[in-house]
Chain A
Amino acid sequence: MKLVVTDLAADRGSGPIFEAITFALQDGEGLLVTGPNGAGKSTLIRAIAGLLRPSAGTAEIEGATEDWPDVPSASHYLGPINAMKPALTVFENLSFWQTFCGRPALGVDEALERIGLEHTRDLPFSYLSTGQRRRVSIAKLLISHRPVWLLDEPTSGLDAASELHFAELVREHMETGGIVAAATHLPIRVEGMKELKFGGVAA
């Protein structure tokens, strides 16, 4: 499988945000999108995920199968907000996403153990601290199988230890043949990731 982005451009009324982005990611490859605030990193991730209609260009899966016909179906999108309901418990939140997204990978309890939050299983999500909430959101990547991870500022709110731990999860995903594209201003310490640098935004 190969994630191919050709000539992608996005536009937001006032003018182009980025233009002519072209890259391809093979199985087991990763890409870091870096750059200052407002450079269009999040927009690029959203455009690849198919949440935002690009003004030109395409993002496709080469060698698409019946299981993963297009990018949205093959991707996990980890947005800047956690997509969890504060009134439900951690377990209820995660098991809902597992049932809804399908293709279960790790069990919810196993995933919680991986991120070191098994003691919060039956607590309402609203009781958790900012970093803990982000880690639960990261656990969502583990409970359903998707070959492509599209991450938007995945480590925001995490402390140094959890950040390292997260880099470990990303490396594991790449080692098992997964593809990762992450927009971040704090580089994730994973070796062998390509880097796409966004310059300052043109005024």
Chain B
Amino acid sequence: MNDTTAQARFSFTALANPTRYLSYSGKILPWLGGLSALLLIVGLYMAFTAPEDYQQGITVRIMYVHVPAAWLAMMGYMVMAVSALGTLIWRHPLADVSIKAAAPIGAAFTFLALATGSLWGKPMWGTWWVWDARLTSMFVLFLMYLGVIALQRAMDDPVKAARPVAILVLIGTVNIPIIKFSVDWWNTLHQPAAVFRMDGPTIDPSLLWPLLIMAVGFTALFFFLHMVAMRTEIWRRRIASMRRASAREQRSTARPVLAE
């Protein structure tokens, strides 16, 4: 999670100004996109050449998509939570743009994690879905992403929507530790964490390496998409204010014509 906060703080201070953000992000964007494509290609190749599990057979390869997607689903929410602090404390306009850009991407990764988990669960557990703590809390995370999107869409004015949305995001942060530790706190069907634990990973290096490369590739993909979405949102707001201005401006030139 360290890179998340670093990234967010970076955008708060150095890129405080939307125009400067547009010019910097325009330079970084191709590199980030290339990096994520490269990592994902290498990661997928390694994932398909890694040894199969003696119990699960080929279905274990779902893990290389499922696990990074689940990590990214949580990280996406943390990006939104940090941005929400930026909105509430510093009232920074870019922070609000960042929440708006992150929400659909995070929702997509959550959906990916749920869907791949479901595909994996059918052969392993014999059912598409169980209501255990890990799956339920992930499902709740998905609902929260959709709730944030719904609240944003319900308000016409993005500036007015910023603070309520930020508050909603912060309240939802409670769910993140619940998801993370649900497998330890409750006895669940879902297996416990195998990579991030105090006593080191319990996963064989031949499986761990492709998994890590996929995870970094997914992270790069997330920030690539996030940056593209933020740029789109900034442009969208500029266009909206220009269109508002265009309704006013020409009115004053039209007046004398009417008055004659």
Q: Do chains A and B touch in the complex (CB under 8 A)?
A: yes
Interface residues, chain A, with chain B CB atoms under 8 Å away:
116-117, 119-120, 123-124, 126-129, 132, 159-162, 164-165
Q: Are the C-beta atoms of A128 and B247 separated by less than 8 Å?
A: yes
| Total contacting residues, chain B, CB less than 8 A | 13
User: A126-B156, A127-B243, A127-B244 given as contacts; is B250 within 8 A of A119 (CB)?
Assistant: yes
Could you list 9 examples of A-B contacts with CB < 8 Å? A119-B247, A119-B254, A120-B247, A127-B244, A128-B247, A159-B255, A160-B259, A162-B258, A165-B258
14 further A-B contacts with Cβ under 8 Å, apart from A116-B258, A129-B251, A164-B258, are A116-B254, A119-B246, A119-B247, A123-B246, A123-B247, A126-B156, A127-B243, A129-B247, A129-B248, A132-B247, A159-B255, A160-B259, A161-B255, A161-B258
Whole-angstrom CA separation of A164 from B243 in the bound complex: 28
Whole-angstrom CA separation of A123 from B245 in the bound complex: 11
- Which residues B138-154 have CB closer than 8 A to chain A? none
* B14 interface contact, C-beta 8 A: no
B244, closest chain A residue (CB):
A127
A-chain residues with CB within 8 Å of residue B156 when the two chains form the complex = 126
Whole-angstrom distance between the Cβ of B101 and the nearest chain A Cβ: 23
* B257 interface contact, C-beta 8 A: yes
Interface of B is mostly: helix
- Which residues B208-260 have CB closer than 8 A to chain A? 243-244, 246-248, 250-251, 254-255, 257-259
Q: Are the C-beta atoms of A123 and B251 separated by less than 8 Å?
A: no
Whole-angstrom CA separation of A117 from B253 in the bound complex: 11
Q: Are the C-beta atoms of B247 and A116 separated by less than 8 Å?
A: no
Q: Among B244, B246, B258, find the residue whose CB has the most chain A CB atoms closer than 10 A.
A: B258
Whole-angstrom distance between the Cβ of B152 and the nearest chain A Cβ: 15
B250, closest chain A residue (CB):
A119
A-chain residues with CB within 8 Å of residue B246 when the two chains form the complex = 119, 123
A-chain residues with CB within 8 Å of residue B255 when the two chains form the complex = 159, 161
Q: Among B244, B246, B251, find the residue whose CB has the most chain A CB atoms closer than 10 A.
A: B251
A-chain residues with CB within 8 Å of residue B258 when the two chains form the complex = 116, 161-162, 164-165
Whole-angstrom CA separation of A128 from B257 in the bound complex: 19
